[in-house]
Amino acid sequence: MSEHITEIIVFSVLFLIVSGMGFVAARWRRADNLDSLNEWGLGGRNFGSWITWFLVGGDLYTAYTFVAVPALLFGAGATGFFAVPYTVIVYPLVFLVLIRLWSVSHVHGFVTPADFVRARFGSPTLALLIAITGIVATMPYIALQLVGIEAVLKAMGVTGHLPIVIAFAILAAYTYQSGLRAPALIAFVKDTLIYIVIIVAIIYIPARLGGFGAVFDAAQAKFDATPAPNDGILLNAGNQLQYVTLALGSALALFLYPHSITGVLASRSRNVIKRNMSALPAYSLLLGLIALLGYMAIAAGVQPIGKDNNTIVPLLFDQMFPDWFTGVAYAAIGIGALVPAAIMSIAAANLFTRNIYREYLKPDATDAQEARVSKLVSLVVKVGAVLCILFLDLQFAIDLQLIGGVVILQTLPAVGLGLYTRWFHRGGLVAGWVAGMGAGVVMLYNIPNPATGKEHFGGSAFSLGNLGLDTTVTVYAGLLALIVNLVVAVVATVICRRAGMSDGPDATRPDHYLADAGDPRVKDLDLAAPH
């Protein structure tokens, strides 16, 4: 560890500065008090274009992305580039959805997607399923933010879990105090550092390695020497459909995650969201450059620590950069874990508070009581994430996150389609959720990974041969599960309506989905009921 003293000092100083900003954020754009979910959990719902751009970008492009996407290219080649098209197509897909969700949420004071479902379909059961789904999908995502920090610590020779525990204790403290304002303020620093590091890396490292031609030649040579079905700098006939369906499924899932919706609901107006959906693809350019670090690591001869491919980016930086700039790069990755982890814990806490605590435990809860419960639950969520890393095999945490993507997709019919139509019967949506969730988990359970010897939960590429087809083509399990969900929801809706089963009341009106800032219905949020 002694040879990494400069890196450790730079990393620690930047980490502490950002942590201090997290505590100061409680006074930034401060309201009279933070004792409501509108203030603590959504930052007063008053973030403008720049703040929202950094907040949502910092929320979606996490520390795990920073290390995992290059690691995937390092190990599997072109398949890892699926992250680039999916983050391009996601913004036009969600453009028409999120502005409607913003409007109806601001008219009614919704804080979570389950709030909307409760009002739209008049079903506490369906809302509870949506809330539980969001929490389950978010928890392992929070744990995986630790992967980025852990990879950096390994590269610096720091062992043991104490540094991670301390980092998340600090995160928990300033999130408890400042709420969503903390990650919103820190996101400026996090994104600036990442942009600086990547721009320098994409110019400096290839120059040292002989140019991009040499980088791609080295990658191709590696994959030619160790052939595997998914390896290579080009896709092949066996994984092209998997690539397409994984990109599409991931795009549909991204803004269903509660933390993504939390960042959007904190925006000031519909125009802020429109501008951000137009500008956020700039992060996709950054992601494409980040992905290339995987090939650069091959050309540089980087060998991961143990079998942990997530360490290749920190090791690449350590090998190619001077010590002081390596410390800056490590800080960018470490701080990149703080912003999304804070937003995710707030989003999960809001789901519990609004859709479990207030719905079933204390229906007459005041705003202050809601805020207090949400703060406490956000602490519990972070403790759970740390315990996941301390006591579970890290690969198991990655498996859970893999399941999370399939899980959150099952909320699309109620949340995404529900913003445009109420044709689905609430009973049909519940039946579809059960069928899609069951199908998704069964498919994931039956996916092996020969490279690691895992018989179950070995990836998300489901072979169509398992359905009796004479082919080796694979597809994304989450998208297949969503199709099952939709088919069952449609059939069950028809059955419910023909059987004359009563449907719940719709508390929303068509004009609620078009309201914007300045509309009289949008102003009185503190008095609006959650459902």
Question: 246: which 2 tokens?
Answer: 């994984």
**Domain assignment present for 403:** no
How many structural domains does the chain have?
1
Question: 85: which 2 tokens?
Answer: 């098209």
Radius of gyration of the chain from its Cα atoms, rounded to whole angstroms? 23
Report the predicted TM-score, pTM, of the whole model to 2 decimal places.
Answer: 0.89
d(CA 489, CA 472): 30
When pLDDT is averaged across residues 179-196 and rounded to a whole number, the result is: 87
Q: pLDDT-based confidence at 137, cuts 50/70/90?
A: confident
- Check residues 360 and 450 and name the one with the higher pLDDT: 360
Nearest to 219 by CA among 300, 315, 304, 314: 300
Q: pLDDT-based confidence at 215, cuts 50/70/90?
A: very high
For residue range 43-84, what is the model confidence (pLDDT) as tens digits?
Answer: 888 888 888 888 888 777 777 778 888 888 888 888 888 888
Q: Where is average pLDDT lowest: 24-33, 267-276, 335-344? A: 24-33
Report the CATH number that the domain containing residue 78 is assigned in CATH: 1.20.1730.10
Percent of the chain whose predicted confidence (pLDDT) is above 90: 36
**Domain assignment present for 114:** yes
Structural domain containing residue 321: 2-25+58-396
Pairing of strands 461-463, 474-476: antiparallel
Asked whether residue 530 carries a pLDDT value surpassing 60, the answer given is no
When pLDDT is averaged across residues 400-412 and rounded to a whole number, the result is: 83
> Average pLDDT over the chain, rounded to whole?
85
**Domain assignment present for 441:** no
pLDDT score for 300? 94
d(CA 325, CA 330): 9
pLDDT score for 521? 62
When pLDDT is averaged across residues 444-468 and rounded to a whole number, the result is: 77
- Check residues 92 and 390 and name the one with the higher pLDDT: 92
**Domain assignment present for 478:** no
For residue range 494-519, what is the model confidence (pLDDT) as tens digits?
Answer: 999 999 898 889 999 999 998 887 76
- Check residues 278 and 314 and name the one with the higher pLDDT: 314
For residues 409, 410, 411 and 414, what is the CA-based torsion angle, rounded to 10 degrees?
130
Asked whether residue 531 carries a pLDDT value surpassing 70, the answer given is no
Helix/strand/coil percentages in the chain, nearest 5 = 75, 0, 20
d(CA 56, CA 58): 5
Top-ranked range on mean pLDDT: pick from 148-152, 235-239, 341-345, 480-484: 480-484
- Check residues 320 and 91 and name the one with the higher pLDDT: 320
When pLDDT is averaged across residues 487-499 and rounded to a whole number, the result is: 95
CB-based burial of residue 466 (10 Å sphere; 0-12 exposed, 13-18 middle, 19+ buried)? Answer: exposed
**Domain assignment present for 371:** yes
Nearest to 415 by CA among 56, 127, 138: 127
When pLDDT is averaged across residues 6-15 and rounded to a whole number, the result is: 91
**Domain assignment present for 509:** no
pLDDT score for 525? 43
Nearest to 133 by CA among 481, 375, 365, 476: 481
When pLDDT is averaged across residues 295-321 and rounded to a whole number, the result is: 90
User: What H or E segment, with its residue span, contains residue 475?
Assistant: strand 474-476
pLDDT score for 230? 54
d(CA 102, CA 94): 12
Question: 187: which 2 tokens?
Answer: 């996101």
When pLDDT is averaged across residues 157-184 and rounded to a whole number, the result is: 83
pLDDT score for 113? 95
**Domain assignment present for 356:** yes
**Domain assignment present for 40:** no
Asked whether residue 180 carries a pLDDT value surpassing 80, the answer given is yes
